[in-house]
Amino acid sequence: MKQKLLLYGLLGLVATKTMSQIPKGEVLWLRADKDVVMDVNNKVSEWKDGSKNDNNVSQSNPFFQPVWIDDVIGNKPAIYFDGVNGKYFLSNSISNLTTAGSPRTVFIVGLLDSLAIDNGGGDFPSAGGTMFTFRRSAPVFALQAARINHSVAAKADYIYTAGLGTNSNATAADRKYFNRSKRCEFIDVFISSGAGSYLRVKQDGDSVGVKQTNAIVSDYGANGFTVGDREDFNGQDWQGYIAEVIVYDRELTKSEIIQTELYLLYRYHPPCVNPFKSNAGVIAKDQINPSLTLYPNPVKNILVIDGLPEIGKAHLTIADITGITEVATDVNNSPKYLLDISQLKKGNHMLYVEFNGKIVAKQFIKE
């Protein structure tokens, strides 16, 4: 919970100049809202790399081309891979984003197609599948959101598959990962220290428990990488949407991971994510009341909060950038409120206003 509050307490900083960019050194950056080449039916033939490394992915065969769809996650487009009714993928057969068995960090923003029928023997509609694969034939390093139900791995929530038929495959130990994936848009982070280490996973700012009997193996299969269905394997084909992919050929630091999560959260605002774990709603772009204003900003001593409900109670909370609560108070039947913040430390702070079943987040600077 503390880490979740840290992530959302920092949300407002993403809009600042220092936090608006991801860490330097990405080897792949795919965004569905730019650099997508498609035909008149929105079938995608190429998804261009925004990292300036020219690690573009493409698909020349129309039968394997996924579809670009507008307004999917956070009012932004995504690429749809219909893994139930065919094999759809975009690939690069030349570039290896990482050397065999080396560290890496991968961010994926996606959504399972919950309206689909079973694919691959899952025990509920949309069993998911492989979203991203390093190398194009086994041994691979495959990242998944897949429920696989068979005699060997009954109802296993797969996260990572080595592609070697070994116990290096990783599953979600507590099912939280896949149970949330099948309902909500997700921001997934996969962190590997390289061959011989064990996979670490985060989803929507939370660490996910992973069960992995053996360590990660080296991926030295055919050159390249794939977005969507695995090229070397039939079954568990990705059934859902991918809006953004960011890959690093190193293990990012904790602060760099949080910085990138914040960037993605600010862009997409997954509606199922609720840092307060209450019935008050979530912080989402369309929930921020434009009539609620803070001034002066920056502020020295008295912060004016204008636009509160004229009738009813509003709960105000101020937290620092680590998510620690500094001020909490209730305001009754007062559209304008003067709050003494003279005791706060200088720097960035977040004001959370809870009213009318919603939570509104505003950033301000204490001088």
**Angle 269-252-363 from CA coordinates, rounded to 5°:** 35
Lowest mean pLDDT among 20-29, 154-163, 318-327: 318-327
Interval 52-80 mean pLDDT: 94
* Identity at 167, one-letter amino acid code: N
Q: Please report which residue ranges of 215-319 form alpha helices under DSSP H.
A: 254-268
Say whether pLDDT at 231 is over 50: yes
CA distance 28 to 56: 8
β-pairing, 186-192 with 200-203?
antiparallel
Taking the domains of the chain in order of start, what are their residue ranges?
24-251, 285-366
Say whether pLDDT at 270 is over 90: no
Say whether pLDDT at 26 is over 70: yes
Q: So what's the pLDDT on residue 150?
A: 52
CATH of 24-251, one of 3.40.50.1100, 3.90.550.10, 2.60.120.200, 2.60.40.10: 2.60.120.200
324 or 120, higher pLDDT = 324
Judged on CB neighbours under 10 Å (0-12, 13-18, 19+), 84 is: middle
Q: Is the dihedral angle over the CA atoms 5, 7, 9, 11 positive or is it negative?
A: negative
CA distance 314 to 18: 32
CA-to-CA dists, residue 198 to 99, 243, 257, 346, angstroms: 17, 27, 17, 40
Lowest mean pLDDT among 15-24, 185-194, 219-228, 346-355: 15-24
Say whether pLDDT at 225 is over 90: yes
CA distance 30 to 300: 42
Nearest to residue 66, comparing CAs of 183, 229, 184, 225? 229
Mean pLDDT of the chain: 81
CA distance 328 to 352: 9
Q: How much of the chain, in percent, has pLDDT values that exceed 90?
A: 44
CATH of 285-366, one of 2.60.40.3080, 2.60.120.10, 3.40.50.720, 3.30.420.130: 2.60.40.3080
